[in-house]
Amino acid sequence: MRIISLPTYSAWWLLEDAHSLFQTIKNRGCTNWGGKAMLQLHRLVSSDADVIVHIDSFAAETGVSRFLELHKNWRYDKREDMSPTNQDIKLYTHLIMEANVTKIQQLQDTHQPLAFIDGYSKTMLDLFHVPPVNVLLQNKIVLMERTKDN
């Protein structure tokens, strides 16, 4: 019986494959921003609280689903015609929306940021660092809470 030896570069290929798999899994977790925001809201706010949540279209497209509506006494709303300048925005105790600086500033009189959810921004390649591939994140979704004055 003859033992076949593997080429010396196979270990390098195995390492590259493992790294590619790790990056794929890591990146996959960085695209469900809306779902992460909804789960974060459930962690930060008491289930007994009287909550009315508005979910904007960006958040809805990135992972918010009916399956994440955990509390029966909370009201979840995905109205697409709602904008930061709409007077009805004051009715919502919490907003899950795109982390757009302009929209956040428009809401500063009625709502304040409660938490930011990071998401994939871009991939950087730097051969002088280990690992040479780095995934950069930035704020994608913001959880807003109505101010006590409103």
Instruction: Specify the 3-state DSSP secondary structure of 83.
Output: coil
For 61-89, the pLDDT digits (tens) are 888 877 877 888 999 999 888 889 999 99
Tokens of 48: 């007994």
For 2-40, the pLDDT digits (tens) are 666 555 556 666 667 766 766 666 655 556 888 899 999
Helices (H), the chain: 10-28, 33-44, 57-61, 101-106
Closest by Cα among 114, 105, 106 to 147 = 114
- DSSP assignment of 15-30 equals HHHHHHHHHHHHHHTT
Residue type present at position 6? L
Give the DSSP H/E element, type plus range, for residue 54.
strand 52-55
Length of the chain: 150
Q: Residue 76's Cα: distance from chain center in Å? A: 18
Q: What is the pTM of this model?
A: 0.76
Q: What is the pLDDT of residue 56?
A: 92
